[in-house]
Amino acid sequence: MQNPMDGVAGFKTFQYLEENSMTQSKFRNLAIAASLALMGSAAYAQVKIAYIDPLSGPFANVGEAGLKGFKEAAEILVNQKGGIMGQKLEFVGFDNKGSPQETQIQLKAAIDQGFRYVTQGNGSGAAHSLIDAVNKWNERNPDKTVLFFNYAAVDPTLTGEKCSFWHFRFDANTEMKMEAITNFMENDKKIKKVFIIGQDYAHGHQVAKAAKEMLAKKRKDVQIVGEDLHPIGRVKDFAPYIAKIKASGADTVITGNWGNDLSLLVKAAKDAGLTARFFTYYAGGLGTPQAMGASGENKVLQLTEWHMNVPTKSTEKFALDFNKKYPGVWFYYLRVNTMVEMVAKAMNTAKSTDPKAVALALEDMRFPAENGEVWMRKSDHQLMQPLYISVFAKADGKTVKHDSEGTGFGWKTVASVSQRDSQLPTACIMSRP
């Protein structure tokens, strides 16, 4: 049985999950929020962004890590540097429990409390729900528009067929990531046989489809020796899948798996002595390195916009401070910082906190992020940024200076993809207000 409460249609009206910057008591805040909600007014001296992600239930750890990242980024990268036209930027958590329907309720709660910006990232289902709801809201309430910043939902259709003027994505989508991975594979002639394994849902299907199409174009000689989809979160023992991969003779595995489905897969591979390399999207953070441990050494590769051993101007310090301040939560999302800085810059440039003006300012923005110059493409609102392929290797204090999540293993860059090279054409036909 899964936790029966996850789906409880729970609503948190007055969700003040202030982590540590609160000066008033929660109860007083509650009262204020309640009266504001009743009046429906929005007299804030701050710029507030509603963070709508799971804060309870099975994905709560991921949601909480994200929220802490946003708060820290807002504080250090914006508020300590003068804020937004003198106002503070603040992130407030709204618990959607990972449910697309709950997401809509939380959006309503946020709008009621005067929020005009929302951000979300965990789960494309919730992202779809949010993009629909925001579009409809803006259509029905043109004087109170809302803008949606997506920091991690990677379904290509969100900036493709379903693209919206009111949605900006700061993470590379599935296809862009696969483009980068297959570009890398194109040059690695050791790869002969590829096995694709994924979770049996939209994301897994998209990864598999992109991998097949792109490999067919770039490496005609590579043989795809197998393709498996397994139900998400239901497989305990991956040994049979590993046995199958082994039997297929694959030297490379591509997977879009995340969370336990990834950790268990890697552990089972190690147990069975499978030597194939794993190309992954999500091996880098949020507990996966810890769960994989030594079994991932020199076997697991990941594609990210950044990792701890990519040299930066200030993010290294930021990350170390973050890890110290929140023991047990490891800094992972550089794109969160990028997003916070870009949003602040857009507001300052537009000299307005009106969502439409901010959206227009964000379009086509070029920004020197810590991982290199990034560009928000106007045609589909997809951020173009450099990407890194790295392998899980023993921390040595030099090229692998920092380990990941205290495991003694860290990420070693094996290739980087420039912002320009990660670009792909889009199917977006955007309707603009």
Nearest approach, Cβ of residue 16 and another protein (Å): 7
> Looking only at residues 78 through 97 of this chain, which bind another protein when binding is defined by CB under 8 A?
95
Residues of span 231-250 touching another protein by CB under 8 A: 231-237, 239-241, 243-244, 246-247
Give how far Cα 110 sits from Cα of 46, 53, 95, 125, 356, Å: 14, 13, 11, 19, 18
User: Which is closer to another protein, CB of 61 or CB of 223?
Assistant: 61
Consecutive H or E run containing 9: none
Out of 161, 188, 213, 271, which residue is the one contacting another protein (CB under 8 A)? Answer: 271
- Identify residues 50-79 at the interface with another protein (CB under 8 A): 55-58, 60-61, 64
Smallest distance from another protein to CB 40, Å: 6
Q: Are the CB atoms for 377 and 362 separated by under 8 Å?
A: no
Nearer to another protein, 317 or 325 (CB): 325
Here the tokens at position 164 are 């919206």
CA distance 327 to 340: 23
Q: Considering the rule CB under 8 A, would residue 142 count as an interface residue with another protein?
A: no
Nearer to another protein, 86 or 273 (CB): 273
Which uninterrupted H or E stretch holds 39? helix 26-39
CB of 5: closest distance to another protein in angstroms? Answer: 5
**136 touching another protein, by CB under 8 A:** yes
- Residues 73/340, Cβ–Cβ less than 8 Å: yes
Helices (H) and strands (E) in the chain, counts: 12, 15
List the structure tokens of 238.
């991956």
Coil, helix or strand at residue 90: strand
Question: Which of the ranges 104-112, 172-180, 384-392, 425-433 carries the binding residues for another protein, by CB under 8 A?
Answer: 104-112
Place of tokens 């991969």: 245
Closest to another protein by CB, 139 vs 188, is 139
Q: Residues 283 to 322: which contact another protein by CB under 8 A?
A: 286-287, 290-291, 293
Q: Which of 156, 89, 86 is nearest to 127 (CA)?
A: 156
- Rounded to an integer, what distance in angstroms lies between the CA atom of residue 391 and that of residue 413? 6
Nearest to 164 by CA among 143, 144, 145: 145
Q: Which residues contact 288 (CB under 8 A, 6 or more apart)?
A: 258, 259, 262, 263, 282
Q: Which of residues 333-392 bind another protein (CB under 8 A)?
A: none
- Nearer to another protein by Cβ, of 7 and 372: the residue is 7
In this complex, which beta carbon is closest to another protein, that of residue 112 or of residue 373? Answer: 112
Site for another protein in 5-44 (CB under 8 A): 5-17, 19-20, 22, 25-28, 30, 37-38, 40
Min dist. Cβ of residue 362 to another protein (A): 24
The span from the CA of 39 to the CA of 267, in Å, is 54
- 219 Cβ partners below 8 Å, 6+ apart? 182, 185, 186, 191
Structure tokens at 197: 């394994």
Shortest distance (Å) from residue 324 CB to another protein: 10
Helix (H, G, I), strand (E, B) or coil at 405: coil
Tell me whether residue 99 or residue 304 sits nearer to another protein (CB atom).
Answer: 99
Q: 134 or 344: whose CB is closer to another protein?
A: 134
87, 183, 223, 260: which one binds another protein (CB under 8 A): 260
Q: How far is the CB of 52 from another protein (least distance, A)?
A: 13
* DSSP state, residue 157: G
H or E, element range at 356: helix 355-362
Q: How far is the CB of 210 from another protein (least distance, A)?
A: 15
Instruction: Considering only residues 116 through 135, tell me which ones interact with another protein, judged by CB under 8 A.
Output: 123-125, 127-129, 132-133
Smaller CB separation from another protein, 341 or 405: 405
Q: Minimal distance in Å, beta carbon 242 to another protein?
A: 8
For another protein, the binding residue among 88, 192, 193, 205 (CB under 8 A) is 205
